[in-house]
Amino acid sequence: MRITGMATGMDINQIVTDLMRAQRMPVDKMIQDRQIIEWQMEDYREINRKLDAFRTNIFDTVMRQNIMQSKSVTSSNDSLVTATASSTAGNMSIRVSSVQQLAKAATYSSQTAAGSGISGETKISASGALGSQKFDVEEDFWKSGVVNRQTIRQSANSNVVDLNRTDIINTGDMVVKVNGKVYDVVSSTSEVELEDNQVRLNPDDGKLYFKSRIAQGTSLSTVFITEAPEGSTDPKHRYTAAGVTTFNAIGIQRDKFVFTSDQTLTAVFNELNRSSVGINGFYDEFSDKITVSRSTTGTFNEGGQEIEFEGAFLRDALKLNFDPVEDPDEPETMIVYDHGAQNAKFNLNGLETERRSNTFTVSGMTVTLRDTFDGEVNLKASTDTDKVFDTIKKFVDDYNEILDLVNGKLKEERYRDYRPLTDEQKDAMSEKEIEKWEERARSGLLRGDSAMRSAVDRMRMDLYSPVNGQLSTAFNQLTTIGIKTTANYMDGGKLEIDEDKLRQAIEQDVEGVFQLFAANGETDGEKGIARRLRSTLDGAIGAIADRAGGMRGKVQNNQFALGRNLTRINDQISNFERRLQQVEERYWRQFNAMDAAVNRANQQAEALFAQLFPQG
C-alpha cells in the first residue's frame, strides 16, 4: 500500500491511475480482439458440431437399408402368431396353421427328496455349507484334497503351459479350460496321441501339453487337487467333482466343476447357471428337490438325454440320475426319462414342419408362435411406409435446420461500433445493459464467411444434381419423390416435401428411393445424394476445424488458425503488460521524487522563516 502526496496534497494514486488508463488503451484493444477471436471460435465450433451430428445422422438413417427398406408385418391373430420382417424380405404372405405343440426346453427334476430321513423329514438347506448337510446317499461322495484354482495367461505361442506344480493328485478330477473349452486331462510322463479335447499332464515336470498351440495372451484356467494335510478337518480340504453335458444346435457342450464342502448349494447353482452349457437350476425348499432346465428349447439329442449329469454329488446327492432303465414289461426295451423337451410342430403354407424354437425365420420374416391352435393365421409383410417417410422427413428437417443456422450466421448484421466490453466498462453497466451490448458485439462475426458459404453451395449442388448411376428406377432426383426447394428465395434453399408424392414413391419402389440416397459409384454423379452430402460435410468439417479447432484431433492452439492468432495476441498482451508495469513503476518513482523534493523545500522554507522571524 502506497501512502503518497503528503507534501504536495495531491491524489497521486488517482493521477497514476488516470495516466495508466491512457497507457492501457492499446492493451485493452488487444483484449477486445482476443475476445472476438474466442467468440468466433465458439460460433465455428457450434456449427461444426451441428454439421458432424448431421453427418452421423445421415449414415444412421437414410443410408441404412434396414431403415429405408423397413418392413412391417400384420397378423390376422396377434395372440397366436406374431412376426417381424427384415429389410431384405419381399412383400410376402405366410400362412401358419395347425400348431400342434410349441417348442419346450428340457427340464430335469430330482425324483426323490435330497435330504436324509423318512419322507424327507430332514431337508437340506440352500444357505448352509454342503459339508454340514445330511444328504440321502448310501456312500460318502466327498474326497480328501486341497482344491487349487489358477488362471494363467499364455506368454508365447506354444502348446506347452507350465503349471509349476508336481504335487497334483486325482488328475481325473482336474479341470482345464481354454477360452471356455473343457479339456480332459491325460496323466503321462511320455508323449501320447491326444484328441482335440484332451491335454496331457506330465506329473514329473508339472507341465500341460496340448495337441495344438495356445496363442499368446490366451487365458487358461485350471482347478487341480493336491494332498491335504494329514488329519485335516478343514472343510476346504474336502471336495467333490461334477460334470454337465448338454446338446444344442452347435453340438455337444461340456463343463466340469469342483465344489468344496464349505460351499453352499446356492453357490453351486450360481456356478452351474454361469456355465457355458446353458442351464438354469435351483433348489425348491418346499419339496426338497432340485430342478434343472436347459435355456434352449427343442430336441437336439433324439432318443437320449438332453442334459447329462456326472459325479456322485449331482447324480446321487441331488438325485439328478436319469440313466435309461430296463422296461419291466419288455426286458429288452430301455425306458428313457421324459425330460419334456419338444420341437414346435405346425403347418406352414400347407407343409407339415418342425422347429426347435418357437421363433424362427422364413425368407426374411421372423415368426413367433405364441399358442397352439387348429385354425389358420395369415402373416403379411409389406413396406413400412410410415417409418421410411418419417426417416426421410427427419433428414429434410435436419438439413433445413443446418441451413437456418449457417445462413443466419452468414447474413447476420455486423455492428462494428460495438466492441467487447472491458472489465472497467462492465463495472459501470447493469447486467441487462451488458447482455444487450454483447449481443450486438457478437453479431455478424461469421458474416460472409467463405468456407461456410462454399460448404452451403456445395451441399445444395449435392442435393439438386441427378444421380446418374446404374439405377433401375425413375427416381434420380429429389423432385421425383416429391422433395423440392421452397418458392421463397429468402429461405436460402430450404426443402419442402409433397407428402402424398413421397408416400406414393415409397410404396411404388422403396428400393429406388433408398438408392437415390445411398447409391455408390466411382464419380459424384453416380453416388446417392446422402453419400455425396456426407463427403461434402467431411470437407466442411475439416476446413472449419483447420480454422477453429475442436475436432479432428485439433485441440492445441498451434494446430488451427484462430488458435495461432490467439497465442500471438496472448503473447502481445503479456509483453505489453510487462511494459505497463515498468511505466507504472516509473510514474510512481517520479511522483515520489516530486513529493520528496516538495517536502525538502517545505522544510527549508520553515527553517528560513524561523530565522527571519524568531519566536519570543
At 472, the pLDDT band (50, 70, 90 cuts) reads: low
> What is the model's pLDDT at position 119?
45
pLDDT of residue 90: 81
- pLDDT beyond 80 at 33: yes
**pTM, two decimal places:** 0.72
Is residue 99 very low, low, confident or very high in pLDDT (cuts 50, 70, 90)?
very high
User: Do strands 181-187 and 198-202 pair parallel, antiparallel, or not at all (unpaired)?
Assistant: parallel
Residues in the chain, total? 616
In this structure, what DSSP letter does residue 420 have? P
Q: What percent of the chain has pLDDT over 90?
A: 65
Range name among 380-384, 468-472, 537-541 with the lowest pLDDT average: 468-472
pLDDT, average across residues 210-220: 93
What are 35-84's pLDDT values in tens digits?
Answer: 999 999 999 999 999 999 999 999 999 999 889 989 999 999 999 999 99
Highest-scoring range by mean pLDDT, 290-294, 462-466, 586-590 = 290-294
The pLDDT value given to residue 431: 92
> Could you read off the pLDDT of 195-206 as tens digits, one per residue?
999 999 999 999
Q: Is the pLDDT of residue 503 over 90?
A: yes
Query: How far is the C-alpha of 267 from the C-alpha of 277, rounded, in Å?
Result: 17
Q: Residue 529 has what pLDDT?
A: 93
* Of 588 and 188, the one with more pLDDT: 188
Has residue 118 got a pLDDT over 50? no
Q: Provide the b/e sequence for 408-438 (b: ≥16 CB within 10 Å).
A: ebbebeeeeebbbbbeeeeeeeeeeeeeebb
Lowest mean pLDDT among 42-46, 207-211, 320-324, 608-612: 608-612
308-336 pLDDT, tens digit each = 999 999 999 999 998 877 767 777 776 77
Q: Would you say 541 and 52 are in contact if contact means Cβ atoms under 8 Å apart?
A: yes
The model's pLDDT over 324-383, given as tens digits with 9 standing for 90+, comes to 777 677 777 767 788 899 999 999 999 999 999 999 999 999 999 999 999 999 999 999
Using pLDDT thresholds of 50, 70 and 90, give the confidence band for residue 120: very low
Average pLDDT, stretch 97-117?
Answer: 90
Residue 468 backbone phi and psi in degrees, to 5? -105, 20
SS3 173: helix
Q: Give pairs for 498-502: CB < 8 Å, separation 24+.
A: 499/389, 502/389, 502/392
Residue 582: pLDDT band with limits 50, 70, 90: confident
What number is the average pLDDT over the span 389-402? 95
Question: Mean pLDDT throughout 228-254?
Answer: 92
DSSP character for 264?
B
pLDDT given for residue 616 in this prediction: 56
Give residue 579's pLDDT. Answer: 84
Mean pLDDT of the chain: 89
Predicted local confidence at residue 2, as pLDDT:
57
Average pLDDT (116-145) is 83
Q: What is the mean pLDDT of residues 508-520?
A: 91
The neighbouring-strand residues paired with 318 are none
